[in-house]
Structure formats: structure tokens, C-alpha cells
Amino acid sequence: MANVLVTGGAGYIGSHACKALRAAGYTPVTFDNLISGWQDAVKFGPFEQGDLTDRARLDEVFEQYEPIAVMHFAALSQVGESMTNPGKYWHNNVTGSLCLIEAAVAAGCQKFVFSSTCATYGEQDNVTLDENCPQAPINAYGASKRAIEDILANFEASHGLKHVIFRYFNVAGADPEGEVGEFHQPETHLIPLMLDAIDGKRDALTVFGTDYDTPDGTCIRDYVHVCDLVDAHVLGLKWLEEGKESRVFNLGTGSGFSVREVISHSKAVTNREVPFNEGPRRAGDCTKLVSGSVRAEKELGWKPTRSTLEAMITDAWRWHQTGHYTK
């Protein structure tokens, strides 16, 4: 089976991608520094520990495994932290990605699938965001991802590096079979924080901002199931293998849900009350982010099958009750 280098393969999305790659007939080679990832999550192929800023280590891994492609998930991704410590995000995300891209090109690995974000679009309220919308990130996380997109375009022009970029929205849920799931320390994502509160692992969920210009005052996001998301990445890899042009795809459902709506659905799924407090807005948070994913459906043939709030919360709740990782 052909090898695919998966950076961040010990993390939430990366580990699910490794399972999807294995099922599709590839061997995922996880490259992760384990700062936020978990070695317990590496179950579907070899593991190589290392940091993206370590060019010599990257060269070793490319030489050993000769991957046909890179699937790049490794990144810092906390919006709030990126507002208070932007240098950390520019160094880790941009410098690390540049080092990885240079190592890939030097090794003759000319196919690159990149995990980007809807945060590159910035604040564009009441707009269904498609791939042609202007990019105007309002935080260092989104800005760092946009910079990496620009780097990929530069390296295609200079070295012929073909790439697929996925800008996706709020990822949720877990592997329905329970082999991998979402487990961050510290946790920052809404659904696992909410499940912690339901389960008594934290006193209450904090709802950041109740004065947004939305029907119920809380911000609105487009949620996509992690398994649907990684299926798109496998399709993106196949797109490149077929010799098609570099392309950008949004990944979302086109439907947005407010924080209060997510809380309501969680109560219905778990049959438990969700204790929550109301807090101030967080710097860098947009009012509404909803995707237009028509291009992914038409060109990639991507059809999300589990991206309903009920399925995402049900799968996350199952993992929350049974799954965990240890260092």
C-alpha cells in the first residue's frame, strides 16, 4: 500500500483521517510531536515523532517512507490564544508548514492536501461563504492558515507542487466505532465542553457572548462530522492522484446552528440538562460562519452522511462515555 505522510495524525482530525486512509487502501504514516496529540490515537499505521520545524527529522522520514503525498493537519488552532500570542501561531503554523513543504518538494513528493479553515474568511455576516469569497482573517489563527495557502500557491508556481486545500467549518462528532475520538487538554470545542458539563466533569459550560446579532443572541456556526470531513480528504488525495489541478474546497453543510440550539439538541440526545453560564464575547469570534460546499459536492462527489447535530452529538457522547487517551 502506498504511504501517505499525515502530520498531526495523533490529533483529533488527523487520527480519523488515518483510519479513513487505511480503509481506502493507503498506509498512513503519522508525524506528530505529541504536544497536543496522543500516541494512543495512532492505530492505523506507523508513528514517527518529530516537530515540523526540524528539517533534518522531516528529511529522514521522507527518505524512509517515500510517501506519495502529504496530508497536513498539524497546527495550533485556538482562536483566543492566537489573539493574545500571535507570534506563537506564526512561528508554529507558518514556519513549520514552510519547512514541511520544502522537505516534501526536496523529496519529490508533489501532492499536498492541506487542512485550512473558514477563519480565513473573517467576519462576513449573513453571507453563505463559498470559495470565491474574499479572505480577511480577523485573528492570527486564520491569518496563519491563509499564509500557508499562499505558500502552497508559490510552490506550485516554482516547483509544480499540486495541492488541495480544504477550508472547513466547525468539526464535531467521533468515530462511530469508538476507535478514535476528540480529546484535547485543555478542551476548547463547544460540544465536548458541553458534554463535560452534562457529565459533571466541569461545573458548567460558558456561553461566550449572548448579544450577537442572531435570533437568540448567540453566535452561529456550521458543524460538520469529523468522519464526513476526512472522507473529503481521501477524495482530495484521489483528485490529485488523477492528475487534476490544484483546488480549494469548503467543507460544511450550509446550515448554521447557534450555541443555544446546540445546547438544546444535546439535552435531547443525552436526556440531561446542560448547566451553563453566560459570559462575555471572546476576542476574534465571528457572529456567523456558514459554508457553501457546492463545489465539493459537484467536483469531488462529496456527500456528508453523518453531519446532523443529532448524529454528531450522539457519536461524541458515546466516545465521551467510553473513550480516552493517555500520554
The residues carrying an active-site annotation are 141
Q: Side chain identity at 258, as an amino acid letter?
A: S
Using CA atoms, how far apart are residues 137 and 153, in angstroms rounded to an integer?
18
DSSP state of 3: E
Task: Locate 21 and state its grid cell.
Answer: 486512509
Q: Side chain identity at 166, as an amino acid letter?
A: F
Residue holding cell 495541492?
163
Using CA atoms, how far apart are residues 18 and 177, in angstroms rounded to an integer?
14
DSSP per-residue string spanning 143-165: HHHHHHHHHHHHHHHHH--EEEE
- Is 236:154 a contact under the CB 8 Å cutoff? no
Cβ density class 84-99: b for 16+ within 10 Å, e for less: eeeeebbebbbebbbb
- Is 233:17 a contact under the CB 8 Å cutoff? yes
Taken in order 74, 76, 78, 82, the sign of the CA dihedral is negative
Please give the helix or strand (H or E) that residue 245 lies within, else none. Answer: none
Q: Side chain identity at 237, as an amino acid letter?
A: L
Count CB atoms within 10 A of the CB of residue 321: 12
DSSP state of 282: P
Phi, psi of 266, rounded to the nearest 5 degrees: -65, -40
Using CA atoms, how far apart are residues 96 and 78, in angstroms rounded to an integer?
17
Task: Locate 317 and state its grid cell.
Answer: 457522547
